[in-house]
Amino acid sequence: MTRILILTKNVLHEVSFEKQLRHLGNEVFTSLTIFENIMYDQLPRDFLSMFHQVIISETIDNKEAIKLINKLKQPSIILLRKTDECLEENRCLEWKELGLTDWVECHPTLETLRDQLICDQVELANSTLLHCPTKKSIDILSLPLSVGESRLLTILYQHQKVFTSREDLCIEMWSKPKTNSTMSQLSTLVKKLKRKLEEFGVEGEIIETSWGQGYRLAEQTYSQLYIGDKYESFVHEG
């Protein structure tokens, strides 16, 4: 049985949706108090380990949802955002880079909800199977990455734990100011790079995303990666 936690500002608002989840055989717990406790860091960290999926209600605004994601994201938990709006692809990528797993409709059919939950569970299981802990530091330039992925990883590594804005990254990556095209390419590269590094055994969050500040490598990533002697020629490669 899947245990699902719904975080909301109005428990009564979730009655119909919660009923659908229960019809699918899930054990569901809906709470405003837990939402508040998480936001104020008043909840024991291991409390969340009893849930397989956490759904953030549309009654919670985006700023609070981002804070929740930063506090909740763990490899073993599926984080879903319930919404009644259709997001553009670039915005979807930004949310997923923050740590969101997927979206779920406010008023889905039972079949749609069932299939989506199963799909997210399978994706989590597959990512767990692909994860292979690394035993020693890996030379970035030895990784089988695309040119764009290697360049992005090297630039982030060079910036040493400092957030770099998306605009500045576009300039460093493609030597031109940001455009809709380069911003989209950057979001896609970040997503692919994180997935590949996970597959190669790099542990932890890997790349941190901060709303309005950009990207940086997570602190634990530096102990797992290094840049070899070919670094300088790679960075200045045209």
Query: Which is more confidently placed, 72 or 13?
Result: 13
Looking at residue 74, its pLDDT comes to: 73
What is residue 229's predicted lDDT score, i.e. its pLDDT?
A: 55
| pLDDT value of residue 98 | 86
Q: Which of 37, 39, 116 is nearest to 78 (CA)?
A: 116
**Whole-number pLDDT of residue 133:** 44
Q: Is this prediction's pTM over 0.85?
A: no
More confident residue, 133 or 26: 26
- Percent pLDDT > 90 in the chain is 41
Q: What is the 3 state secondary structure string of the chain?
A: CCEEEEECCCHHHHHHHHHHHHHCCCEEEEECHHHHHHHCCCCCHHHHHHCCEEEECCCCCHHHHHHHHHHHCCCCCEEEEEECCCCCHHHHHHHHHHCCCEEEECCCCHHHHHHHHHHHHHHHHHHHHHCCCCCCCEEHHHCCCCHHHHHHHHHHHHCCCCCECHHHHHHHHHCCCCCHHHHHHHHHHHHHHHHHHHHCCCCCCCEEEECCCEEEECHHHCCCEECCCCHHHHHCCC
Residue range 209-234, pLDDT digits in tens? 988 889 999 888 888 888 865 544 44
Q: How confident is the model at residue 126, as a pLDDT?
A: 58
Predicted confidence band of residue 238 (pLDDT cuts 50, 70, 90): very low
**Which pLDDT value is given to residue 45?**
63
Task: Encode pLDDT of 153-198 as tens digits.
Answer: 999 998 887 899 999 999 999 998 889 889 999 999 999 999 999 9
Mean pLDDT of 29-38: 94
Q: What is the model's pLDDT at position 124? A: 61
Identify the band that residue 31 occupies on the pLDDT scale cut at 50, 70 and 90: very high
119-155, pLDDT tens digit by residue?
A: 777 666 655 444 444 346 888 878 888 989 999 999 9
Residue 104 has pLDDT above 50, yes or no: yes
**Mean pLDDT over the full length of the chain:** 84
| Residues of the chain above pLDDT 70, percent | 88
